[in-house]
Amino acid sequence: MNKKYITHILILLIIIKNVFTQAIFTKTNNVENVIDYWTQEKMSNAEPMLSPIGELNKTTSNNEKGRLLSSVSDSDSINPDVESDYLLTVGKLFFTRSGKNLVCTASVINTRDGNTGITAAHCLYSKEGEYAKNVIFYPGYDNGKPSALGKIPVIGLSVPKSFMISRVDDYAAIKFDYPGKLQEQTGYFGWGLTPTSPVNITIFGYPYNGEIPNCSKDGQNCCVWRGFSTLEFLEFPKITTAWKVPLHIGSGASGGPWVMRNNLPSYLGYLIGVTDFHVGVKKNGKANEYADALNFTLINTLIDWPPSQFSKF
């Protein structure tokens, strides 16, 4: 079966998936004391969120690795008007769950309210049914310090019911408690386009380990990987259609955006997924990282605000 035909099948699966609107569960957060809660000590000691793990007994050919790991040139950066990888659009997401202070990655996306972000659902909701609390976003967090925008409390969480039930659609919306529109201060990622496979992308995150080259891997700096991602239909560790890159992004990078470049001046790029789970390859010890392909009908539901079904923590 040729690659073009496989690509068309995978895209068709996404389209079929998008036809069905899925229910979501939403919560509001009490933000009154959340800024005071996150002291410098608590931020420094927050543990990176571990991404889900699976194992596959297969290898990636050397030719495929060479094609997928090839770096994008400087001229192919996300936006030719952006001189560096430092973006206020991406930041660290701190939260508490099961009595622990934890950290993931999140980013700002384009919405009408201007105060919406996206991260991994497994950061905000546990297998035991617990939502994250004390959630706060630090846009442009760099070298261990937040940007001039400081701490942005997260007042609302929207998690897909499909994730709660079967761990698919591992992405969730967060709502910022910000006067005005945060996206006007940080910039934002567009969404709503499904590219053909493979696609040239950039991945952002704050990993504490992993395989991103030239990355501090201390969670204090936003690390960036550029290369090609392919679309696959998986049956393990879950049944899903997902984008793949041939390396482990790292703990703490969960929820980090996977963005394809474009030339529209108002966007920094189009989101195709967020860092979700990695699958180790037993024969050579390497790993592939995956991002569930986005269901744009579901995202429209996730970002609706304020939904009447919200309830207080």
Same-domain check for residues 35 and 167: yes
**For position 72, what pLDDT does the model report?**
30
Same domain for 140 and 284, yes or no, is: no
Residue 173 lies in a domain: yes
Q: Global pTM?
A: 0.82
Q: What pLDDT is stored for residue 308 in this prediction?
A: 44
SS3 for 302? helix
For residues 129 and 238, state if they share a domain: no
Cα–Cα distances (Å) from 157 to 26, 65, 207, 211, 263, in that order, read 5, 37, 23, 30, 31
Q: Give me the pLDDT at residue 71, please.
A: 30
Number of domains in the chain: 2
Residues 61 and 194 in one domain: yes
pLDDT at 311: 38
Q: What is the C-alpha to C-alpha distance for residues 188 and 212, in angstroms, rounded to an integer?
A: 23
Look at residue 3 and tell me if it is in a domain.
no
- For residue 7, is it within any domain? no
> Could you tell me if residue 34 is inside a domain?
yes
Does residue 18 fall inside a structural domain? no
Whole-angstrom Cα distance, residue 88 to residue 248? 24
> In order along the chain (313 residues), what is the average pLDDT of each group of 10 residues?
55 46 65 88 91 52 31 34 66 95 97 96 91 95 87 94 92 95 94 93 95 93 95 89 94 96 66 92 73 94 67 36
Shared domain check, 147 and 32: yes
For residue 12, tell me if it sits in a domain: no
Q: Which domain holds residue 182?
A: 25-47+86-187+296-302
Q: Are 118 and 271 in contact (CB under 8 A)?
A: yes
Please indicate, yes or no, whether residues 145 and 219 belong to a single structural domain of this protein: no
Residue 183 in domain: yes
Is 128 in the same domain as 79?
no
pLDDT of residue 253: 96
Judge if 125 and 33 occupy the same domain.
Answer: yes
- CATH code, domain carrying 194: 2.40.10.10
